[in-house]
Amino acid sequence: MQKIVVLGATGSIGRQTLDVVRQHSERLEVVGLAARRQGEALASLAAEFGVKRTALLDEDAAREFGVPGGMDAVCELASMPEASTVVIAVAGVIGLLPTLAAIESGKHVALASKEVLVAAGEIVMQAVNLHGTRLTPIDSEHSAIFQCLEGRSVSDVAEILITSSGGPFRGKKRGELAAVTREAALDHPTWRMGGKITVDSATLMNKGLETIEACWLFDLSLGQVGIVVHPQSIVHSFVRLKDGSMLAQLGWPDMRLPIQFALLAPDRVPNDLPTYDPVLTPSLTFEEPDLEVFPAPLLARRSFEMGGTAPCVMNAANEAAAEAFLVGRCGFLEITETVERVLDRHVPVPGGLEALLDADAWARETVEAMLRS
């Protein structure tokens, strides 16, 4: 029986994680739940799963609902002694400190927040090695790579190709994107996700973030990670081995399978999820990403090459700009343009934790100043 804590329990990945728990209650028990501010939903989930320890990140909401609140409370939940696994399902770099708290407490971390490794990959992976624990990815792309590499050495890998649906604006020209609405950006063709990650999918920034995440997770160089557009979202990533063999993991676009694998690997446990049938998708297609129309992945790669605090700044600027777009404070094309302008202004420094937190704050303040002007 694994005892798990779910951070971000009321969000898309959190809810799907709890679906997996419902299917495998003989293997998984929830002992802690946290959310940002949705106190009523959190209380309902705590009652359903018999969870006594909860927390809300938003301190005002925590006071309203009478539960522990703030980052310290969330980190305490992530390091609670009775837990063996912590699911980091919060959106954004806000998951960094709870991730480190879980790792330093010897927990197995199932990570859905790609921004954690983008902003602080070196620190996080050093902590994993220092404390002798495990970090397994929940992202469907990285789960696919993880599965393809089971029993194989990373030294056998020539290249990985992260697949992308192309988002809702695949095939559009840049001029056609100037008037994109929030509703159009959130209308993803194959996946149903939270707002921020759906916007990242529309700009293709998610593929830039996933490129950096893959480098840290699998100890790969930037030159070993590529992107291929696959509109059907059936192949979740490719691994090309040095002898030319190409491996892939296929399945319907359903996050519950990679969540289950992250929690129960290496065991393969039957479930009631729809089984993929290749006959139903006879025409799988692949194409190059249009990086002139969607330059965000290039910005992510540039930040990784710059090193130090640059990926953290790139990520924070993207989070702030994407949030501004979602609330109507900037246009769709301005998201990537703002990230580029912030990155242009940044002079990287070595990425210790304090430096990263300072860089994150600076990037957000810089975005805000740009939006005001």
Domain boundary among 137, 161, 185: 137
pLDDT at 189: 77
213: Cβ contacts below 8 Å, ≥ 6 apart:
114, 117, 118, 121, 137, 139, 142
pLDDT at 196: 86
Q: Please state, as a whole number, how many other Cβ atoms lie within 10 Å of the Cβ of residue 80.
A: 17
Question: Do residues 86 and 110 make contact, with C-beta atoms less than 8 angstroms apart?
Answer: yes
The structure tokens listed for 203 are 């700009």
**Could you tell me the pTM of the whole model?**
0.95
Q: H helices within the chain, ranges in order?
A: 12-23, 39-49, 59-65, 71-78, 96-104, 114-131, 140-148, 182-185, 195-203, 205-218, 256-264, 296-306, 310-326, 332-345, 353-372
Report yes or no on 159 lying in a domain: no
Pairing between β-strand 235-241 and β-strand 108-111 as defined by DSSP bridges: unpaired
Q: Strand, helix or coil at 56?
A: strand
pLDDT band for position 364 (cuts 50, 70, 90): very high
Rounded mean pLDDT, 7-30: 96
Report yes or no on 189 lying in a domain: no
Q: Strand, helix or coil at 72?
A: helix
Report yes or no on 15 lying in a domain: yes
Structural domain boundaries enclosing 370: 307-373
Which helix (H) or strand (E) segment holds residue 373: the answer is none
Domain boundary among 71, 106, 137: 137
Residue type, 80: M
Report yes or no on 100 lying in a domain: yes
Residues 276-305 have pLDDT tens digits of: 999 999 999 999 999 999 999 999 999 999
CATH at residue 313: 1.10.1740.10
pLDDT at 190: 76
Domain boundary among 117, 137, 157: 137
pLDDT at 331: 95
Q: How far apart are CA 116 and CA 311, in angstroms?
A: 11
Report yes or no on 111 lying in a domain: yes
Report yes or no on 208 lying in a domain: no
Q: Please state, as a whole number, how many other Cβ atoms lie within 10 Å of the Cβ of residue 208.
A: 32
Q: How far apart are CA 255 and CA 234, in angstroms?
A: 12
Report yes or no on 269 lying in a domain: no
Taking alpha carbons only, the member of 217, 60, 86 closest to residue 149 is 217
Residue linked to tokens 């929940």: 138
Rounded mean pLDDT, 67-93: 96
CATH at residue 57: 3.40.50.720
pLDDT at 133: 96
Integer angstrom CA distances of residue 338 from 65, 113, 262, 358, 366? 37, 22, 34, 19, 9
Q: How far apart are CA 226 and CA 167, in angstroms?
A: 17
First to last CA, the chain: 54
Residue linked to tokens 């938003």: 58
pLDDT at 194: 75
Q: Please state, as a whole number, how many other Cβ atoms lie within 10 Å of the Cβ of residue 291.
A: 14
Residues 182-205 have pLDDT tens digits of: 999 988 877 777 788 899 999 999
Query: Structural domain tally of the chain?
Result: 2
pLDDT at 157: 97
* Helix 256-264 and helix 12-23, axial crossing angle in degrees, nearest 10: 60
Q: In this model, does residue 151 exceed pLDDT 90?
A: no
Taking alpha carbons only, the member of 326, 305, 323 closest to residue 363 is 323
Report yes or no on 9 lying in a domain: yes
Torsion angles phi and psi, residue 151, rounded to 5 = 80, 5
Average pLDDT, the chain: 96
The structure tokens listed for 157 are 């890998």
Q: In this model, does residue 77 exceed pLDDT 90?
A: yes
